[in-house]
Structure 1
Amino acid sequence: MDKKEALNLFATVVGVEENYILKDLDAVSMLIAKQKGEYIFFEGDKGEDLYFILKGAVRLFKTSYDGREITLHIAEKDDIFAEIVLFLENRYPASAVALEDTLLLSINSYKLFEKISQNPAIAMKLLGAFAKRINFLAERLKQLSIEDAKERVMEYLEKNADSSNTVRLSLPKKEIATMLGVTPETFSRIIKKLKEDGILTINGKNLRIIR
């Protein structure tokens, strides 16, 4: 994918169609390739760039005081992340690592808004798109702080179940566990207990909720 295609895709996702905005985006952005396991930034790093995923997946996580990684979100193709630097004095509040080979469109947020400051309507469109993601992350942090592990696991299963109440574990259990803020061992124990309680049936990677 070349940069022109990347910019057009980003503009479509955020709902911006004006041609001059694409020119402004071109001046303040660049394509970045990251290999699986490569970090994009670390929690607490200074930075002004937000990112749009063109290909691949990125894990956003925080590190607890005892060194445990707590996954906030798995960002995938067409997702925007790190837009929160607009409001946090150029500091990334979480770390980001590529889960697979990933292609990103990196956009310098401050230079972009300098360019479009004369058009509040366009600025509001972009801010609106970013605000949705910020609200999502705020709710994610709230969830981690107030819900116990079993509730988080059940909520994950219910949200990802299909019409037959079946969930396929497409991600490794370790990634699901860290996304839910529990250890892999705790996640496995909870799944086993849910099965013993008659709440789940298990067939390989397929879990069916039967209550």
Structure 2
Amino acid sequence: MKRCIICLQQLDLFLGLAQEQLTNLCQCTQRKKLSRGHYLFRQGEARSTIYLIKSGKLKLVQTTEAGHETILDICGPGEVLGELSLYREQNEHCSAIAMEDVCICCFSKLQFEALIKQDPSFAMRIIGYLGQKRYETMVKLGKEAGLPVKERLLQLFYRLAEQYGKQTPTSTLIDLKITQQELADMIGSSRVMVIQALKEFKAANIIDREKRYFVLKDDPCISIHKFE
């Protein structure tokens, strides 16, 4: 129980809640563990559960009727999934798939509704959280709209390094096991185009690979415009 409360207190969404509110929330929390490749939920399913990622990473994948897959985002520790169900009943617009072993806390929609009734300011926190996520998505789309594949891929690496980077003396290791196909799915390109871009990045000493991890070189002189 104590570890659960400490975990919630570290998240912006739960800042300011009274100890009793956190205790009530933790008492009804269910924990779920997923192995790599397993689904947390599938596209089209009806859900009324909010998920808090405690450890591990999941990819959010949207599949078209033709079977084409697009990776919308990668989510890691501290992030919340399923929060849109607080506002309206709807089926999931994507699937959440574990990229590694994942530990998740599950909350019911009813728990959050009860919390909002006790503390109306909690609703404002949720609105602020959703607004920030939407803003970040719009900024990302605005930056990458119309860019060539190489620039979209490099922007993706910068973003992943910011989220999951581990600093070394000369580079940033991206602590995320991601395949070339997954990179292609994230930028809306083909695997062939991504492989070619990676070869050019490696030749220019921008991107390297250590085992299954990508490494972004720390060089202030690097400019993506050199690839135009």
Shorter-chain TM-score range:
0.7 to 0.9
Q: Trace 1:1-211 onto structure 2 (pairs within 5 A).
A: 3-13=1-11, 14=13, 15-26=15-26, 28-137=28-137, 139=139, 146-159=146-159, 160=161, 166-168=171-173, 170=175, 171-174=177-180, 175-194=182-201, 198=204, 200-201=205-206, 203-205=208-210, 206-208=215-217, 210-211=222-223
| Contact 1:157-1:167 within 8 A present in 2 as well | no
Select between 176-185 and 38-47 the one with higher mean Cα deviation: 176-185
How many Å separate the matches in 2 of 1:22 and 1:169? 33
- Distance between the aligned counterparts of 1:115 and 1:25, measured in 2? 8
Contact 1:61 1:95 in 2 (8 A): yes
**1:66 shift after superposition:** 3.2
Change (3 A) 1:104 1:134: farther
TM-score for both structures, normalised by structure 2:
0.73
Residue ranges of structure 1 left out of the alignment (5+ in a row): none
**Larger deviation, residues 47-56 vs 186-195:** 186-195
Q: Structure 1 172/143 Cα, relative in aligned 2: closer, same or farther at 3 Å?
A: same
Structure 1 position 84, deviation (Å): 2.4
Residues of 1 paired with 2:43 and 2:57: CA distance?
A: 18
* Cα 1:27–1:108 shift into 2, 3 Å: same
Query: Which of the pair has the greater relative contact order for Cα pairs under 8 Å at 6+ separation?
Result: 1
Q: TM-score, normalised by structure 1?
A: 0.78
CA displacement 1:102-149 (0-9 Å, x = unmatched)? 111111134412343242112222332343234434555666765443
For the Cα contact (< 8 Å) 1:57–1:76, is it kept in 2? yes
